Amino acid sequence: MPKTLSKKEGATTAVAVAQPAVGVVGEITASDLVIPNIRIAHKTGELGELFEPGSIVLNGEYALLGCRSDDRENVKEDPVLMTVTNAEKYYKEKIAFGGEEAPKTARTLDEVSDLGGSLEFGADKPWIACLKTTVCVKGDDPAFFPFSYNDETYAFATLDFGSWSSYNYAGKQILTASSLNFQDAEKYPHGLAHGSWELTTIKRSMKDNTKYWCPAVKSGKINDTEFAEWAATYFAQ
């Protein structure tokens, strides 16, 4: 029997699908919901003004790793425990940092080619491979982790490995696990959701010796099938 699945305190169901509150009518699907994001704070940018560089931040408000700039005494050093519930590889145009125009994206290499781009090093119109994921993250504060499973609280968020370094140093590890560790659909019917990851950040250097923070992932324990089902299907359409 699947265990009790709930958002805070509520219904018990075998497969938890996001449901609107009483008084909301119409066909509500996962595409109608706004899911928080997870980003890394750097020295520059909006997050860098609020959080210490290298911090992993949930929805621009809550430090999962690291700390706020005005709360340096409460640094969180433990890796962020997460389960990847969905992953989508895509391609993105590589543009100069700080550009006003948003980079173009594509789902296939054929689309990249049609747009005049290439993944080859030194290309006139360079593109990069990226991985966008939805993750389930374990935490303690119910204000930021409103979903409960067996008396533990979680949050769902998007985590985009949208740079060359984040994709190559973290995204590829997740795709490798998908292909080599969880490819058996009979044994792992919910794919990546059967595995867990420890998410941290590491400082890397560019060719000009500029330092930047990059995500790093390390595989963790195997989730039981009941938790994998809950995490993978909570926002199923």
Spell out the SS3 assignment of 86-150: EEEEEEEECCCCCCCCCCCEECCHHHHHHCCCECCCCCCCEEEEEEEEEEEEEECCCCCCCEEEC
Question: What would the two tokens of residue 29 be?
Answer: 């699907």
pLDDT-based confidence at residue 1 (cuts at 50, 70, 90): very low
Query: Which region among 13-17, 55-59, 110-114 has the lowest average model confidence (pLDDT)?
Result: 13-17
* 27-42 pLDDT, tens digit each: 777 677 778 999 999 9
Instruction: Please work out, in degrees rounded to the nearest 5, the angle formed at the alpha carbon of residue 224 by the alpha carbons of 220 and 229.
Output: 110
- Who's near 70: CB < 8 A, 6+ residues apart? none
DSSP H or E segment with residue 173: helix 172-180
Over 50: is that where the pLDDT of 22 sits?
A: yes
Phi first, then psi, for residue 84 (nearest 5°) are -85, 120
- Write down the mean pLDDT value for the chain: 87
> Strand 105-106 vs strand 195-205: parallel, antiparallel, or unpaired?
unpaired
Closest CA to 141 of 2, 5, 36: 36
CB contact at 8 A, 201 and 64:
no
State pTM to two decimals: 0.84
- Sign of the CA dihedral with 213 first, then 218, 224, and 225 last: positive
Helix (H, G, I), strand (E, B) or coil at 27: coil
The domain segmentation of the chain, as residue ranges, is 79-233
* 152-208 pLDDT, tens digit each: 999 999 999 999 999 999 999 999 999 999 999 999 999 999 999 999 999 988 777
CB contact at 8 A, 155 and 58:
yes
Distance CA 84, CA 133 (A): 7
**Side chain identity at residue 85, one-letter code:** T
